[in-house]
Structure 1
Amino acid sequence: MAKVRFVLIFYLLLFTSLAFAQEPTQPVRLELPFNRTENSVEVLALPDSSLLVYHKTSNAWNTKADFYFTKYNQKLEQVWTTSVDIPPSYDFVRHYTEMPYTYLIFTGDIPEEYIFTRTNSINGRTDVKKYKLDDIEAIHEFNVLQGNYFLIGHNRFSQKPLLLHLKPSEEKPKHLPSVYGEESTFSDMLADQENRRLDVVLSESNGRVSRLQVKSFNADGELLGNHFILQQNDKSLLNAEITPGDSAQKMLLGTYGTRDLRYTSGFFTKPVSAVYNTGDFYSIMQLKNFLKYMKPRREERTRAREAARLRAGKEPLYRFRILLHDLITTPTGYILAGEAYYPQYRNNSVSLPLERRQAFMQNTEGYKRTHAVAMGFDKKGNLLWDNTFPLKDVASMELVHTVEVARAPDGRVIMAYPDQEEIIYHIMQEDKFDDKEHKLKIMTYNENEKAQATEDPGIIKWYDNHFVAFGFQRIKPSGAEYRTVFYLNKISF
């Protein structure tokens, strides 16, 4: 049986200490009797401040499995639970929530066959339906607009990007129109529920220059509008996130490059409906804190070197690749966050600095992060502030987000990622840079218990200034037998 206990009540008694008052608290913990061998688990935050936990329990041969959805409130108390009938070979791949429903996609042994579930967050009722998607190889993005599905993946045969629209009542999806070049990739997909439209940002390149294309569709997959976003010859628009709003208000916030389109030279903002040659551009050297992940002397030398190269009309030497996060909308504007990374190659025996690493014809073995950044903009796209979170020994085998980013109601930007039994976090107050490393140990039920091992740790933003950390743990109480659990700890910043 799952147990919920309130922990760290003593934090409420420590207001006399400023340090403790500023440290995140862990007011409640939930332990589920799961183990990594038999259970796979996904934790999903819902817009109504609840959690939806999906878990699959299977045998060692994966020939028998049970699938469950359980909803928990803000105190991690169970609201309802339901089971669904899905073949044991299927595994979770994507989800999306359009209240009151949460949709999950599962894939099995046959690549073109997918199962979609729709769960009502109010009562737990779940519908299950199987689809055959012949053309798509893998689903990379999934949005829902007024109950209709929009899917991004790669064409199974041409390997080019693919955008599909699927009505739940129909058996086959339809291909949505777009222009796909050899170097085309999807940069963003946003289901704008208020304006009843779905916007897709496509990055197109011929290897020498790059542009963005924005296509808008209604819930039935009908094309509402198409914009080609061009810029002057010395700047190529690489990737961008799109804002919600009507067509006249929509903006793009993203990255731009110059000669080498693999690397980011800076960031830009631009109205979607604007004419050619408009927009605001902010080079990396203009940003106050972007280089603060370096030691002070190294940052000083880098800035001096790049300023000299700029005066001489030369290209910069710095080499940054940026993985953008979903745009955060604030009451007064937007926050754009991203992770600076570089590929690690199988044959590299020496780790060169980011600015000097060259990409040879080698197989990528992972992606290492140097820092995460956040930038605040007003509604017109003017840069208000920027800040940086230095990342140490953070890497991923696939190019996925490793840091969770959220904005608290008081305006703080919170970044966090798991590291075994700890959460490494950073709190940004606009452009006030903090170079200290902040760690929070995941608390167990009692102080005399010890987490002997943590596997598959994770953390997601939940609601307001609250996150939830989770993972599998082996817990050893003092004088008692160990237990293996899947934990969920509420973390309040």
Structure 2
Amino acid sequence: MKSTDKRYLLIFTFFLLLPFSVSAQLVQGKRIEFDLNSSMDEDHQLFSLQENGVLLFHSIEDVYRRKMTIDFHKYDSTLTELWKASFVPEDEFLLNKTFQNERFLFVLFKKRERTDIRVLRLDLETGDKTYVEGNLLTNMDIEHFTVLQSKAFIGGKYNDRPVVVMFSFFDKTSKVLPEIHANHLMISEMDVSARNEVVYVMLKNERNCQYIIKTYSYEGKPLNSVGLGDKQRTPISGKILNMDNGTPLLLGNYAEGCSPLSIGIYMQNLSNDSKIQYIDFSDLQNFFSFMTPKKEEKIKEKIRLKKERGKEVKLRNRLLLHDIVSTPEGWILIAEVFYPEYKAPANNGFSNWRSYRIGNDTYNNFRYTHAILCGFDHNGKLLWDNSISLKDVQGSELSPKVQITRQEDFHILAYPDEDLIKAVVVNKDEKIKDLESFDLKTNSDKEKITDTDRTNLIAWYGQSFLAYGYQSIRKDNLTSREVFSISKLTYTLKNGKQ
């Protein structure tokens, strides 16, 4: 080999050995604001339409007249308003649940202390509205709402027993699904498969700690019933996934017996009698990688020694499971570890604080410790896992915090922390780069955000997020105002060698 070739080879090898780096930057783009009226009870929700924009659901209730108005605003990918539609519910009809699919947003209303219901269907493309009247047959407490084609499936409780009502938009008839209204059962989740035209009702038997998945046809006929778990391992929640051939998979978290604390995740093929796959948290390679390397290694060593002595290692956590993220390789499960606490509402100018019930206890504040990620292939095989710290992020509402987007082989995970947006870049089981915390700003240099409430984040399209929430804004240290704001955030990643 010539000396020149050797020199080029050495230089090439030197660059290969340099540490890999990713530079990233989060940039705030357009911001829109809505001034809040102190005499009104207002609520705002965002529904991502990906590249087609975003829908803002804005409800305004006169607390004295008990009259509600709902405004729908559709914005394009630049946050330019395309159309606005308004709707006024009938007297005594309370806004209950919403459900979104690719074409429509469905809004469920129920008459106070009655069985009458109304369903508003909003066309996400045009803003056209359809309003349908119906009846629940029983004065149930509604907990779940989903839609398959032209039928709504409404789940909840009646006389402390579960019930699911199927309501047809065409002929306005209602039907109670069979084999559900029984003692010791509660509805965990409901899901639909548009591809297979079936409805899944997931039930928890609180007496024998069994998790039951009931499948119904589009006509409401029972098709199948599968019982999972025992007093050692019982699924807590489940998300339905469909493989390329249409085979349904159930993915979720499980506990020991009837405990609300998760000890791992599971995967079950619902099309055959295959054995359920359990993966304990202690078997994940990076469950503790959100910690400092020294602390992570210390905990892993304790677990290893216990397993060598033949002892079971069970890591118990409260887990908030997200919707499963589809990827070209398969799926990503994201879940946040949290714990509830009671905290008296602070007098911060915002009146819409809410309480949540877990078991027999009521909480109105939640602290998040970390989030776990698990990557699966299309057959449900675990490929990798990772975790990121949430550094005691807290919120008055129990809702998903971490949002995920993808650029090439990297995933950008971002989450709100009061008035800051924080993020980390991962590549499967590797941590690549912590992004700088980003401080949300107003549209004017003369104004400053002095307080925030319920700051949320959603992954939008491409390399963008939407940050939204309630804020107190002060101008020139004199006057202040309360607003609801939406800000577009974009990022760029550049790969290189340090």
Under TM normalisation by the shorter chain, which class is it? 0.7 to 0.9
Q: Is the 8 A contact 1:345 1:362 kept in 2?
A: no
Whichever residue aligns with residue 213 of structure 1, its letter is I
Q: CA deviation at 1:205?
A: 4.7
Flag the 1:81–1:303 CA change in 2: closer, same or farther, 3 A.
same
2:277 matches 1:280: yes
Residue of structure 2 equivalent to 1:417: 415
- RMSD, aligned α-carbons: 3.5
Identity %: 24
**Contact persistence 1:30–1:489 (CA under 8 A):** yes
Q: Which residue of 1 aligns with 2:382?
A: 383
Matched, 1:206 2:207: yes
Tell me the residue number matched to 1:308: 305
Alignment partner for residue 43 of structure 2, among 21, 40, 43? 40
Q: Which residue of 2 aligns with 1:349?
A: none
The structure 2 residue matched to 1:268, chosen from 250, 253, 266, is: 266
Cα distance change, pair 293–128 in 1 and its aligned pair in 2 (3 A): same
Matches within 5 A, 1:355-374: 366-374=365-373
Cα contact 1:211–1:238 (8 A) shared by 2:
no
Secondary structure in 1 matching 2:169:
coil
Q: 1:140 aligns with which of 134, 143, 151?
A: 143
Does the Cα contact within 8 Å between 1:452 and 1:473 map onto a contact in 2?
yes
1:444 corresponds to which residue? Answer: 442
- Describe the SS at the equivalent of 1:458: strand
Q: How many residues align?
A: 458
Match of 1:119, SS state, is strand
Structure 2: how far apart are the matches of 1:469 and 1:45? Answer: 12
Deviation per CA, 1:402-429, whole angstroms, max 9, x where unpaired? Answer: 3143342535444433333222333332
User: Are 1:152 and 1:163, in contact at CA under 8 Å, matched by a contact in 2?
Assistant: yes
Name the SS for the 2:289 alignment partner.
helix
The CA distance in 2 between the partners of 1:247 and 1:186, in whole Å, is: 28
Whichever residue aligns with residue 104 of structure 1, its letter is V
- 2:94–2:112 Cα contact (<8 Å) kept: no
Q: How do 1:27-106 and structure 2 match up within 5 A? A: 27-35=29-37, 37-38=39-40, 39-46=42-49, 49-87=52-90, 90-106=93-109
Report if aligned partners of 2:231, 2:257 keep a CA contact under 8 Å in 1: no
How far apart are residue 130 of structure 1 and its match? 4.2
Counterpart among 21, 24, 43 of residue 22 in structure 1: 24
Unaligned runs of 5+ in 1: 1-17, 347-358
Larger Rg: 2
Bigger relative contact order, structure 1 or 2 (CA pairs below 8 A, ≥6 apart): 2
Kindly indicate which of the two structures has a greater share of residues assigned to strand: 2
Q: CA offsets, 1:292-313, max 9 Å, x none?
A: 3444444334333333333344
- Structure 1: distance between partners of 2:60 and 2:362: 35
Given residue 389 of structure 1, which amino acid in structure 2 is its aligned partner? I
> Following superposition of structure 1 onto structure 2, how do residues 143-182 of structure 1 map, counting pairs within 5 Å?
143-155=146-158, 158-171=159-172, 173-179=174-180
C-alpha separation between the residues in 2 aligned to 1:370 and 1:54?
30
TM-score (norm 2): 0.80
CA contact (8 A) 1:104 1:116 kept: yes
Give unmatched runs, 5+ long, in structure 2. 1-19, 344-357, 492-498
Determine helix, strand or coil for the equivalent of 1:445: coil
CA separation of 1:362/1:451 partners in 2, compared to 1, >3 Å: closer, same or farther?
closer
Q: Which amino acid aligns with 1:93?
A: N
- Structure 1 pair 75–391 and aligned structure 2 pair: CA distance change class (3 A): same
Whole-angstrom distance in 1 between the partners of 2:387 and 2:331: 16
Per-residue CA deviations over 1:175-208 (Å, capped at 9, x if unaligned) read 212346655444443322233333333343534x
Match of 1:127 among 130, 138, 151: 130
* Contact 2:212-2:225 at 8 Å conserved across structures: yes
Instruction: Name the aligned partner's letter for residue 487 of structure 1.
Output: S
| Cα distance in 1 between the residues matched to 2:474 and 2:282 | 50
Mapped partners of 1:344, 1:483: distance in 2: 30
TM value normalised by structure 1: 0.81
Structure 1 residue 377 displacement after superposition: 0.2
CA distance in 1, matches of 2:338, 2:47: 26
Separation in 2 of the partners of 1:341 and 1:49? 33
Partner Cα separation in structure 1 for residue 359 and residue 124 of structure 2: 49
